[in-house]
């Protein structure tokens, strides 16, 4: 700790050297006809500096250090624009920017894939970006709705609201995901601790392929970055009201306020949503899977001067699911009686999540320092037991309501990051950092066998097997990445990261007769493990032009190792360790924008070799996943993203991926013998994903202050397998979505339909056969104030 304190002090002193005189950057923003764009936002990339244009379209930004700077300009009804300028000491540059209407040009996109903001055409990473306008147009309410919105991305709901995700054949199969979610810069530790609902979101970025060097654990398939709206210059309040069939209601309000000009800003966003169940429970005569949720997001941002930035963020969510795990006993049963169940246990689930973070940044003349601290906590319990046999009989239920001491996951993370600042003549750009975490995961769960347990061949009845698993973990990592400009066109990137983790698990088993005392059947037993991983990166990028580039990269990612937990099946012993899973990944990509930014295209070829593949087995009726290192996987494919604006107000886009992911080696124990499953397809990986979108905006009225929006989406998914033996699958299917409405400068009203044809498809299935249907046709309207 003394070493870290000394290091931090040295860094802060070194960055506090005498600065050069700081010029003022000023200018004017107009449309193509020279009329001022009032209220346009101007922001300097990788800096807290920004401004809002006044009634003449003018802006002024103070406190910038000399050097090359990139600015982004945004305004309602106009395409986002990027501008580069070189600020010289002693000079006050005055620039003029002309914005184009959104119906005439595509946005110039900024992403943060390499932990710094940059033009998407200049980052050597395959990344899809959705801004706030795209999020609204797609009617995205949850991260689970992202399937196919980025090529090769697949998401599914196993029945409890957690999102299981795969990218490029690398799939989440346990509570440690293979695709990392980062929200407002904070890496979400596992499936329990993040909030998937999209509240007041400014941008979503999907990074495809391993990102282990900069992001570390569980970024083996890629990263989903979510950025919510931050408070800054310019007060603004927006709200949204949505209603639809199945009693859908969604109310959201967000406000950003200036508490002290140029110094202190506050942002608050609140959301309340509910709906009735999509399923009907024949055993009780009521709907099943009805949901209610309240979510909040609070930002406090303090800028004491042009150099320092302090940011505090708090997020919380309380969700109640009246019917968790609405599963049919098999895929055949799901299709034979769609959205119909017959379960005696109704499985009411409460889910409370809290995320808090603090970021301290210093934007020095030579480097940028960031210290990021976060705390994540989730408490998930079943108010009423969930049905473990998916029938109206009292055979098996699962219960975990043992108070606040159990089933309460908490994680503390700390990251220190130092990165270079662009300066005139510099050819080297670099980032380095340290990361650490502490995790506490006490789990207690009972598998109860009721009066009808004999139907499963169990000689006893009215008893419970109680498993207690007390898990703890710690980890440390150090990383660095640098890009060297060999020439003005050719860039070389290299990086390395080392992660070290320690895990401990204590297990205890007990037997309890209903209404009687419990007896210890497995005394408290402990195990521990230590795991390490290197995550290198190397790549070449060629800047063909200002609006086109190509890259060839090698990256490596890993998913953390761990220990198997205790369940009710005595044939599955606990405390068996499994090693980290790792992937070696090669990618060749090309990006370009043409025709005055009316056409944009990204193409990528990739191949991954995954070793020590973590193979999951779901143990029933506990619903506990036992993981083993039992194979290797090869995944390769092609990805395409293109967007075209051929005429005023008309746009088309297509996102497509073809993925071939198979086990080159897979050995499993079946019926007491080893089964050779070499050549089987990877689970949760569609053979292809495709999303075709047509969007048309028609100006209305003499002054054209209103726009009629017409939008159609066609999403298609190839064959996807859900079990390692490839016996449970969903054949190719398509989903049609429509959206139409009217929008003005401040208000918009749209109607929408999702799954227009009511297609029945398996969204997720377990290897023991139980299946969860995808959502039925839903429709409704959304009224917003921007």
Instruction: With a cut of 70, say whether residue 566 has pLDDT above it.
Output: no
Instruction: With a cut of 90, say whether residue 313 has pLDDT above it.
Output: yes
| Mean pLDDT value across residues 529-554 | 95
Pairing status of strand 408-420 against strand 367-382: antiparallel
pLDDT score for 621: 57
Identify which of 631, 632, 586 has the alpha carbon closest to the alpha carbon of residue 607. 586
| Mean pLDDT value across residues 566-574 | 61
Determine the Cα angle at 112 with ends 106 and 114, to 5°: 130
| Model pLDDT for residues 462-489, shown as the tens digit of each residue | 999 998 999 999 999 999 999 999 999 9
How confident is the prediction for the chain on average, in pLDDT?
A: 90
Three-state DSSP state, 598: coil
Spatial separation of the C-alpha atoms in residues 253 and 784, rounded to whole Å: 10
Spatial separation of the C-alpha atoms in residues 776 and 786, rounded to whole Å: 30
User: Does residue 359 or residue 86 have the better pLDDT?
Assistant: 359
pLDDT score for 702: 75
The dihedral region occupied by 757, where left means phi > 0, alpha psi between -120 and 50, and beta the remainder, is alpha
Instruction: With a cut of 80, say whether residue 219 has pLDDT above it.
Output: yes
Q: Are 114 and 419 in contact (CB under 8 A)?
A: no
Say if residue 494 is exposed, middle or buried (CB neighbours under 10 Å; 0-12, 13-18, 19+): middle
pLDDT score for 567: 59
User: Does residue 786 or residue 91 have the better pLDDT?
Assistant: 786
Instruction: With a cut of 50, say whether residue 15 has pLDDT above it.
Output: no
pLDDT score for 22: 65
pLDDT score for 565: 73
Long-range contacts from 626-630, C-beta under 8 angstroms, 24+ separation: 626/564, 626/565, 626/567, 626/572, 626/576, 627/173, 627/174, 627/562, 627/564, 627/578, 628/576, 628/578, 629/578, 629/579, 629/581, 630/666, 630/667, 630/668
| Mean pLDDT value across residues 196-213 | 93
Considering 20-29, 38-47, 87-96, 427-436, the range whose residues carry the highest mean pLDDT is: 427-436
pLDDT score for 10: 45
Three-state DSSP state, 647: strand
User: Does residue 332 or residue 622 have the better pLDDT?
Assistant: 332
Instruction: With a cut of 70, say whether residue 26 has pLDDT above it.
Output: yes
Instruction: With a cut of 80, say whether residue 519 has pLDDT above it.
Output: yes
Quick one: how far is CA 41 from the chain centroid?
26
pLDDT score for 4: 45
pLDDT band at 390 (very low <50, low <70, confident <90, very high): confident
pLDDT score for 89: 66
Instruction: With a cut of 90, say whether residue 641 has pLDDT above it.
Output: yes
| Model pLDDT for residues 418-469, shown as the tens digit of each residue | 999 888 778 999 999 999 999 999 999 999 999 998 888 888 999 999 989 9
pLDDT band at 161 (very low <50, low <70, confident <90, very high): confident
Identify which of 557, 161, 90, 531 has the alpha carbon closest to the alpha carbon of residue 320. 161
pLDDT score for 2: 45
Spatial separation of the C-alpha atoms in residues 475 and 532, rounded to whole Å: 10
| Mean pLDDT value across residues 93-109 | 90
pLDDT score for 526: 87
pLDDT band at 615 (very low <50, low <70, confident <90, very high): confident
Considering 152-166, 336-350, 540-554, the range whose residues carry the highest mean pLDDT is: 540-554
Instruction: With a cut of 60, say whether residue 756 has pLDDT above it.
Output: yes
Instruction: With a cut of 70, say whether residue 625 has pLDDT above it.
Output: no
User: Does residue 127 or residue 113 have the better pLDDT?
Assistant: 127
| Mean pLDDT value across residues 548-553 | 97
Instruction: With a cut of 60, say whether residue 571 has pLDDT above it.
Output: no
Instruction: With a cut of 70, say whether residue 202 has pLDDT above it.
Output: yes
Least confident of 189-198, 254-263, 272-281, 445-454: 189-198
User: Does residue 499 or residue 14 have the better pLDDT?
Assistant: 499
pLDDT score for 1: 45
Least confident of 280-289, 368-377, 566-575: 566-575
Instruction: With a cut of 60, say whether residue 7 has pLDDT above it.
Output: no
pLDDT score for 622: 53
């Amino acid at each position: 700790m003394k070493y870290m304190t000394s290091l931090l002090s040295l860094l802060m002193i070194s960055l506090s050297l005498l600065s050069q005189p700081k010029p003022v950057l000023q200018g004017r923003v107009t449309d193509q006809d020279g009329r001022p764009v009032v209220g346009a936002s101007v922001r300097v990339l990788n800096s807290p500096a920004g401004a809002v244009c006044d009634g003449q379209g003018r802006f002024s930004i103070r406190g910038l250090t000399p050097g090359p700077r990139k600015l982004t300009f945004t305004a309602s009804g106009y395409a986002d624009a990027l501008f580069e300028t070189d600020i010289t000491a002693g000079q006050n540059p005055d620039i003029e920017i002309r914005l184009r209407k959104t119906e005439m040009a595509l946005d110039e996109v900024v992403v943060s894939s390499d932990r710094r903001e940059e033009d998407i055409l200049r980052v050597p990473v395959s990344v899809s970006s959705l801004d706030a306008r795209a999020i609204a147009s797609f009617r995205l309410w949850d991260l689970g709705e992202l399937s196919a919105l980025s090529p090769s991305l697949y998401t599914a709901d196993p029945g409890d609201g957690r999102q299981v995700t795969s990218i490029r054949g690398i799939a989440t199969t346990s509570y440690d995901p293979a695709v990392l979610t980062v929200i407002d810069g904070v890496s979400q530790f596992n499936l329990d601790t993040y909030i998937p609902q999209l509240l007041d979101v400014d941008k979503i970025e999907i990074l495809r392929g391993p990102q282990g060097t900069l992001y570390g654990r569980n970024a083996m398939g890629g990263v989903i970055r979510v950025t919510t709206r931050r408070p800054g210059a310019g007060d603004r309040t927006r709200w949204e009201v949505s209603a639809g069939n199945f009693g859908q209601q969604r109310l959201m309000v967000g406000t950003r306020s200036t508490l002290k000009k140029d110094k202190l800003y506050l942002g608050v966003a609140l959301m309340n949503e509910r709906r009735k169940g999509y399923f009907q429970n024949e055993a009780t005569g009521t709907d099943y899977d009805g949901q209610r949720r309240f979510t909040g997001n609070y930002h406090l941002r303090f800028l004491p001067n042009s150099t320092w930035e302090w940011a505090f963020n708090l997020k919380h969510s309380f969700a109640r699911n009246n019917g968790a795990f609405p599963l049919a006993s098999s895929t055949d049963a799901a299709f034979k009686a769609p959205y119909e169940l017959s379960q005696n246990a109704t499985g009411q689930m409460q889910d409370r999540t809290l995320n808090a973070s603090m970021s301290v940044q210093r934007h020095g003349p030579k480097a940028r320092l960031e210290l990021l601290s976060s705390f994540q906590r989730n408490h998930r319990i079943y108010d009423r037991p969930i049905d473990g046999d998916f029938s109206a009989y009292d055979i098996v239920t699962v219960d975990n309501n043992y108070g606040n001491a159990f089933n309460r996951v908490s994680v503390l993370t700390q990251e220190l990051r130092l990165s270079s600042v662009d300066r005139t003549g510099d050819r080297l750009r670099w980032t380095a950092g340290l990361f650490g975490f502490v995790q506490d995961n006490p789990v207690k769960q009972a598998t109860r066998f009721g009066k009808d347990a004999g139907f499963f061949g169990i000689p006893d009845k009215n008893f419970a097997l109680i498993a207690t698993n007390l898990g703890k973990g710690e980890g440390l990592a150090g990383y660095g990445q640098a890009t060297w400009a060999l020439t003005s066109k050719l860039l070389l990137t290299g990086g390395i990261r080392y992660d070290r983790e320690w895990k401990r698990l204590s297990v205890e088993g007990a037997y309890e007769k209903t209404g009687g005392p419990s007896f210890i059947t497995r005394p408290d037993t402990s195990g521990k493990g230590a795991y390490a991983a290197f995550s290198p990166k190397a790549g070449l990028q060629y800047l063909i032009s200002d609006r086109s580039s190509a890259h060839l990269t090698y990256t490596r990612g890993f998913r953390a190792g761990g220990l198997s937990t205790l369940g009710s099946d005595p044939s599955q012993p606990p405390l068996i360790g499994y090693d980290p899973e790792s992937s070696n990944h090669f990618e060749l990509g090309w990006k370009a924008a043409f025709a005055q930014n009316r056409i944009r295209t990204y193409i990528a070829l990739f191949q991954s070799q995954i070793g020590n593949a973590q193979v999951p087995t779901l143990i029933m009726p506990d619903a506990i996943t036992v993981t083993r290192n039992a194979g290797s996987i090869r995944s390769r494919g092609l990805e395409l993203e293109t967007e075209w604006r051929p005429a005023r107000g008309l746009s088309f886009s297509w996102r497509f991926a073809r993925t071939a992911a198979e086990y080159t080696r897979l050995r499993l124990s079946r019926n007491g013998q080893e089964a050779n499953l070499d050549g089987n397809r990877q689970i949760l990986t569609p053979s292809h994903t495709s999303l075709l979108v047509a969007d048309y905006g028609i100006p209305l009225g003499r002054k054209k202050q209103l726009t009629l929006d017409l939008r159609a989406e066609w999403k298609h998914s190839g064959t996807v397998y859900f079990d390692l033996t490839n016996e449970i699958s969903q054949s190719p299917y398509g989903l049609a979505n429509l959206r139409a409405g009217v929008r003005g400068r401040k208000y918009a009203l749209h109607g929408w339909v999702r799954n227009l044809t009511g297609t029945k498809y398996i969204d997720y299935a377990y290897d023991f056969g139980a299946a969860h249907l995808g959502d039925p046709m839903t429709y409704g309207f959304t009224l917003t104030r921007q």
